[in-house]
Structure 1
Amino acid sequence: MSDLRLLGLSGSLRRESNNTALLRTLQDSMPADIELSVKTLHGIPLYDQDLENRGTPRAVVELRVEIAASDGLVICSPEYNCGMPGVLKNALDWASRPASASPMKGKPVLIVTSSPAFTGGVRAQAHLREVLTGMLARVIVWPQVVIAGVHGKVQNGRVADETTVQFLHEAVGGLAAEISLLRRSLA
């Protein structure tokens, strides 16, 4: 039984996604007291309030339930055109509803961005931070995790670069510390 349940969301739909590989690597190597479930965003329809008014789609309900059941999120995103991918923004829009009772409200979130470029997706990082702050999520400010040259660090669906794996583990440690602090403040 794990003490900490994290949900990893991949901002990429590609079968060979580097961001999903980052999450799968973490999932395979978490300590016994931390469980990380990985979720892709396949099947989430485009946000449409008319659709929501007729009944929230099942894939969205499942996403909200998984977010609510987690102690924190690890969001891994590529950078598309200086920001996060539309599929991720769309999923976050669904997750933010209803605003007064969103499962994102107060949820600790670690942002990880990656790119083949030397910038590591830093602009997507800023975009995600802004959107998550608007959703009242509790964004972890340290460490800021940007992974440059990610295409050379992933092999066979997992991160092969040990320095990157260690960096990711330290970042999850920061998220775990934030969750622990939050738990103590609420006790």
Structure 2
Amino acid sequence: MTIGTLDWREAAGRPDLLAEPVARAVEDLGAAAGVRVAEIDPALADTAAFCERYGVRPDESANCVIVAAKRAGEIRYAACVVLATARADVNGAVRRHLGARKISFAPQDDAVTLTGMEYGGITPLGLPEEWPVLVDEAVAAHPGVVVGSGVRRSKLALAGAVLAGLGSAEVLPLAN
């Protein structure tokens, strides 16, 4: 897989470039999933800077955001994955799908603590099993998309079908 100017390697062979829960998820997926990893400058982990520096088009990059859905005093977390060219319709499609009365982006400290990943590197791989992973249709159909690795110093590249095939994944029209 060639995306941008990065030196992509088999992710299972570089667990040092992955957050611990991501390394376990990559191992569970196996080599057939084709998950690749590339080391980057952690100061350039944010999407716009990353894409510009490493020649990755925004439509090849996906963002994963953690939301907190509230209903009847209960908080339920979920991940939303959309291409960098779009925004997740959190207050519409996501809120309705989760049956939440109120929804918001999870506070940074909560997202980091609950995922075991670094802020700015949170990825759908390795999230708590009970969390729904809502994958936008465009991401699911993508032949090769870049996502976080759980840490800011690297990125993963994989087929959107791998994300859509995660045990807790649901493919929906999320982008607005």
What's the TM-score bracket when you normalise by the shorter of the two chains?
A: 0.3 to 0.5
Higher helix share: 1
The higher relative CO (CA closer than 8 Å, separation ≥ 6) is in 2
Structure label with greater radius of gyration: 1
TM score, norm. by length of structure 1: 0.31
